[in-house]
Structure 1
């Protein structure tokens, strides 16, 4: 680990980074995401400030998925993260993984709702929405398109809107053509006005193969949309036993299609929408800021 740290962070870089941090005379410096947290740990002995690593993805995504973000670096990561004064993760499931597998204690702070809701979805739109980057094998939009091809056979008046951009777009378009769904599925580029899509949809589907948090689910619920989501540690933690959400086995096309039919055929949409909005409010940014303020007090003063 020491050898790797030395090769990964040259001495000249560590001197420069430490000098810049010390010049700011901060009480706490936060390394946002794993790589920045690793940069902080590399200069921990050279700086006078407290340090927090804010990890924005799941333990599985870092080390266990088919193409992990930190392949073969688990031992290095464990040593480096142990140098920080505190670590923040996005779920209790991940906090458990880091403790069991790396003996690292982590605080859990959920991501806040930062999108201001504009309007509210309705069943009458008969529109399913998904939002996310078209990155390889991640968001599972290929799974969603295949499941929708099954669902639409019994619900022909429904449409699917997918908002995003990225390298998998060609795959999605080929699937849409293969299933002859050009009139039922539309791909849209990212927009700063994503609320327009939420407010004109009927339900939201998160079909990801893994997630750190999945904030889009909360954004959707803030617009009164019921949610269907892959059964992942974070979605299980956030949505299990919630009346306005259902989970399906990750990657299971038939089960996802069944969940869409179940949601489309429900008659209590207004009630589900009210529950969704009520739950999304618990992620209001002011409430999450309170959690951060408490953590920073602990780091700086040793108290909450």
Structure 2
């Protein structure tokens, strides 16, 4: 078993540089009410602080590595969005810039150098074919494009940057029911470009099949303006290959999420989230995650 684990660590370590991509995940991991629209001409600034503790790594095949396995994510994201009309259709453009640290990375007792600095920049554009405030129905379509501007060292195992372009078309629906209840539903198809500086020496090509992401929230708005939500997020697919050979990694997990938010001033909202992944295959399992978000409307 020891020799098998050493082989698994070597294989996984060579690919982790593009396996753990917090910038992409954070861009498409929506919060409740995010597709409820703002008026034409509105600019919004959003700041995020995230922490995630990962306690084990479960390859697609083979034993789960828990003893001596750890990864801590400490990430911030600055996000600016602007709403405008195209004819009679509301649209939005935005940019997101993550920065932070991947820290205390270990797999099966083998430690890896931390990565800190800028993550990959994310550009996005959205339109709302349905924007019906009276019926509380908002249906939006978004395209996220992640460009490889983040810190990437081909000789380093853990990297904040992915060294590849990622496309993520997303559809989202928010539907309200009366004065208190609402739901959010989203679906993504994530398409990954190749990283041609992967592997132990940075001389191999890492490719990845498409991933599918589903998210949902059930929301309740209290009389004092506080909103609480319980949600689900799931990823499927995303199997990776290094020079055409499977490396045992993919994107596959289920996550439960608990969110509370409140406008503490007319133009400023605070939001907090706690989440936990029930299972994960083909990558790290996040045992507990925390998110704090501040939103200001100009």
| Higher-helix-fraction structure | 1
User: TM-score, structure 2 length as denominator?
Assistant: 0.24
Give the number of the structure whose alpha-carbon radius of gyration is greater: 1
| TM-score, scaled to structure 1 | 0.24
